[in-house]
């Protein structure tokens, strides 16, 4: 009973210290927030391309093509005159100018070549290729709706997943795992390093508690703090409808989050015991967490990366955390949940073992 009270007292002290230390809060929260902002900016840049649409024909066929272009998922269409469109293209406000010529309907009825001109700002190949694919696709859609269409080939799409996931929404899961990792590694490491740097570790060792109790309190504090921050993120994500597991899939999602946080707490404690300096722990912990973020699919789908990177990814525990959370939150799939949770459980055990051994060794040296 006394040992349990001591563990809770040490944990409560560390939790309150974290909330009262702006530098620790910034070190834990700033990288995930920064990556979230980057994802928002990138998503806006690689989504629907802004184009200016010049319509010189008011005929029904021209208007039908215009409607297809405006409803396309590939464009953000802005109607403009010829001069306005030229100005928008020259000032980089649009990526291309699409012009429906004045003779469009007449040429269509006469079965004459009916070119729709596209002036592209080929600033980089990514934008250029998007436009080169999207405009012909819109024209193909236009002809597919004609009763005498010359396009006899259609596309029968079959989706592997039950629904589409927006890019920003998809990237929230790796960012959540980054948050858990940084909160565990950096917060756990800072809480441990602070005791050595400020020499309060000697006072703790002189108190009537065992080293095991002290270590358990440090790890528990880090895990609870991480889970509190994760709870706030999950509640906000649920309210806004961006991360919302359905039915029983809340259970594996929470299990994955808890195991990632526990592994991070153990590794953070190990790092703090090894380095014993606030600045060193923050630098190493943040960099390590960011490397794990990228290897777990932080800015891309890991399965689409080069083969040699995929070989490394499969030895990265956070990859399995991202996979488990994506399956539970987005797709309600249990295909790899057992494997993913098993890897996270082993990682948590290893992390705790490293934290206990590292801190116990340092305590003996004090």
Identify whether residues 133 and 277 lie together within a single domain: no
Query: pLDDT class for 246, splitting at 50, 70, 90?
Result: confident
Q: What whole-number distance in Å separates Cα of residue 266 and Cα of residue 244?
A: 28
3-class state of residue 345 by DSSP? helix
- Span 50-92, pLDDT tens digits: 899 999 989 988 898 889 888 887 788 899 999 999 999 999 8
Edge-to-edge strand ranges of the sheet holding 49-55: 75-79, 49-55, 96-100, 117-120
Task: Please check whether residue 108 is in contact with residue 64, taking contact to mean a CB–CB distance below 8 angstroms.
Answer: no
Is 290 domain-assigned?
A: yes
Q: What is the pLDDT of residues 215-245, one digit of tens each?
A: 899 999 999 999 999 999 988 888 888 888 8
Q: Are 256 and 221 found together in one domain? A: yes
Boundary of a domain, candidates 144, 175, 192: 144
Report yes or no on 152 lying in a domain.
Answer: no
124 and 173 in a single domain? The answer is no
Tokens 């290729």, residue located: 129
Q: Are residues 111 and 245 in the same domain?
A: no
* Same domain membership, residue 241 and residue 97: no
- Dump pLDDT digits (tens) for 255-272: 999 999 999 999 999 998
Position 255 in a domain: yes
pLDDT value at 113 more than 80? no
Provide the pLDDT for residue 45: 62
Q: Which of these ranges, 36-50, 219-233, 274-288, has the smallest mean pLDDT?
A: 36-50
Are 242 and 165 in contact by the 8 Å Cβ rule? The answer is no
The domain that holds 79 is classified in CATH as 3.40.1710.10
Q: Is residue 139 scored above 90 in pLDDT?
A: no
For 114, list phi and psi in degrees, rounded to 5: -130, 70
Residue 154 lies inside a defined structural domain of this protein: no
Domain boundary among 144, 173, 208: 144
For residue 315, give its domain range.
2-42+164-365
Residues 99 and 135 in one domain: yes
Rounded to an integer, what is the distance from CA 115 to the centroid of its chain? 42
> Based on the domain organization, do 119 and 267 belong to the same domain?
no
The pLDDT of residue 54 is 93
Rounded to a whole number, what is the distance in angstroms from the first to the last CA of the chain?
27
User: Do 68 and 214 lie in a common domain?
Assistant: no
Residues 63 and 91 in one domain: yes
| Low-confidence winner among 117-131, 230-244, 249-263, 306-320 (lowest mean pLDDT) | 117-131
**What integer pLDDT is reported at residue 7 of this predicted model?**
87
How far apart CA 56 and CA 358 sit, in angstroms, is 74
192 CB neighbour count, 10 Å cutoff:
31
CA dist., res. 96 & res. 49, Å (int): 8
Same domain, 207 and 69: no
Q: Which of these three, 83, 111, 144, is where a domain ends? A: 144
Between the alpha carbon of residue 275 and those of residues 65, 282, 283, 364, the distances in Å are 65, 10, 11, 15
The number of CA neighbours under 13 Å toward the Cβ of 87 is 7
Q: What whole-number distance in Å separates Cα of residue 48 and Cα of residue 69? A: 12
61 within some domain: yes
* Number of folded domains that form the chain: 2
Stretch 168-187: mean pLDDT, rounded? 90
| Alpha-carbon dihedral sign for residues 30, 33, 39, 44 | negative
Same domain (yes/no): 257, 329: yes
Quote helix, strand, coil % in the chain, to nearest 5. 70, 5, 25
Residue 203 and residue 288 in one domain: yes
List C-alpha distances in Å: 312 to 20, 143, 257, 303. Answer: 38, 47, 22, 12
- Residue 90 structure tokens: 């020259």
Nearest to 250 by CA among 266, 263, 265, 231: 231
53 close to 100: Cβ distance less than 8 angstroms: yes
Task: Name the pLDDT band for 114 (thresholds 50, 70, 90).
Answer: low
Contact indicator for 358, 268 with CB cutoff of 8 Å: no
Rounded to the nearest integer, the mean pLDDT of the chain is 86
For residue 244, is it within any domain? yes
Closest CA to 180 of 234, 226, 120: 226
**Inside any domain, residue 159:** no
199 belongs to a structural domain: yes
The radius of gyration computed from the CA coordinates of the chain, to the nearest angstrom, equals: 28
């Amino acid at each position: 009973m006394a040992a349990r009270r001591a563990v809770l007292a040490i944990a409560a002290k560390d939790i309150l210290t974290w909330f009262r230390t702006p530098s620790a809060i910034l070190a834990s929260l700033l990288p995930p927030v920064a990556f979230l902002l980057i994802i928002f900016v990138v998503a806006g840049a690689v989504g629907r391309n802004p184009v200016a649409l010049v319509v010189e024909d008011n005929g029904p066929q021209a208007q039908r093509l215009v409607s297809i272009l405006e409803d396309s998922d590939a464009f953000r269409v802005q109607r403009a005159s010829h001069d306005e469109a030229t100005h928008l293209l020259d000032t980089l406000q649009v990526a291309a100018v699409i012009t429906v010529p004045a003779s469009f309907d007449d040429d269509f009825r006469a079965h004459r070549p009916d070119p729709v001109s596209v002036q592209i700002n080929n600033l980089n190949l990514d934008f250029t290729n998007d436009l080169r694919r999207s405009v012909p696709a819109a024209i193909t859609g236009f002809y597919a709706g004609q009763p005498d269409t010359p396009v006899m080939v259609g596309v029968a799409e079959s989706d592997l997943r039950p629904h589409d996931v927006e890019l920003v929404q998809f990237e929230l899961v790796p960012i959540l795992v980054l948050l858990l990792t940084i909160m565990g590694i950096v917060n756990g490491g800072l809480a441990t390093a602070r005791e050595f740097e400020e020499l309060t570790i000697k006072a703790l060792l002189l108190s009537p508690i065992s080293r095991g109790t002290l270590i358990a309190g440090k790890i528990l504090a880090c895990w609870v703090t991480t889970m509190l921050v994760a709870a706030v993120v999950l509640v906000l994500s649920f309210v806004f409808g961006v991360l919302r597991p359905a039915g029983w899939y809340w259970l594996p999602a929470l299990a994955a989050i808890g195991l990632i946080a526990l592994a991070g707490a153990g590794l953070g404690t190990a790092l703090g015991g090894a380095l014993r300096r606030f600045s060193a722990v923050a630098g190493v912990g943040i960099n390590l967490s960011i490397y794990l973020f990228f290897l777990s699919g932080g800015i891309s789908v890991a399965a689409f990366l080069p083969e040699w990177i995929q070989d490394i990814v499969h030895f990265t525990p956070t990859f399995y955390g991202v996979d488990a959370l994506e399956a539970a939150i987005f797709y309600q799939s249990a295909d790899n949940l057992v494997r993913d949770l098993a890897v996270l459980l082993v990682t948590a055990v290893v992390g705790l073992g490293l934290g206990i051994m590292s801190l116990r060794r340092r305590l003996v040296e004090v």
